[in-house]
Amino acid sequence: MEKSGFILINKPVGPTSHDIVDALRRITGIRKIGHAGTLDPFASGLLILGVGREATKKLSVFLRQDKEYIAKVRLGAISTTCDRDGEIRLTRNPKTPAREDIEKVVKKFIGEIKQVPPAFSAKKVKGKKLYELARSGVEIKLKPVSLVVRDIEVLNYDWPFLDIKVQCSSGTYIRSLARDIGEDLGCGGYLEELCRTKIGGLSLDDALEISRLNSRNWREFLMPAGREAPIS
């Protein structure tokens, strides 16, 4: 019987989530591999990979679970993609907010909120991904979606960079949150760095670098489908 389960990977900055899937396919020799939630190339952190048919069928469970992120927001500028990979435009004579101003503003984004997804995202509209439409020059007026931000903690602030920890429901775009926080502060903002630290009860602390895996040892790191915590 085909070995099936989950492997927790610490995705580095650079490769796409699909690149990690392809790497694991080469290591295991198994084609049926998927992941539970895309991380952009510039983002790092926890990526849950389902190996085998039984596990890939259960990836949707992780997709629906809450997430935790550590984000670095660049204030005083805006981006066409709401992150550092877009076309950046500096804000003219930006107001430099005090830490107290930032603490007040981020509190406004805690709870059930409405959020407009970024134009460059994998969200689909009429079967087409938004980034495909955006790259082809098609403008789509996006409607706000409801989501829940459980908590936002300000970790560090040294103008123009703001480090925050965000606990949120599935479907939250941290890029949009960075954009909206910057807009509310009156200086603009975009996402400079992002690390996903938790998905449900699973933590980045339990993940491993994919470079540690090879054709002989990968089964040792497999979390059986049906378990809610990684093997210790």
**Structural contact between residues 160 and 192, judged by C-beta atoms closer than 8 angstroms:** no
- CA–CA dist 18, 105 (Å, integer): 36
Query: How does 59-68 read in b/e, with b if 16+ C-beta sit within 10 Å?
Result: beebeebebb
Catalytic residue status for 205: no
Q: What is the CA radius of gyration of the chain?
A: 19
DSSP letters spanning 120-167: SSS-EETTEEHHHHHHTT----PPPEEEEEEEEEEEEEETTEEEEEEE
Q: Which of 19, 22, 40, 101 is catalytic?
A: 40
Burial class from Cβ neighbours inside 10 Å (0-12, 13-18, 19+) for residue 146 reads exposed
Q: How many CB atoms lie within 10 A of CB 227?
A: 11
Question: What are the tokens at 87?
Answer: 């076309």
3-class state of residue 87 by DSSP: coil
Question: Which residues are known catalytic residues?
Answer: 40
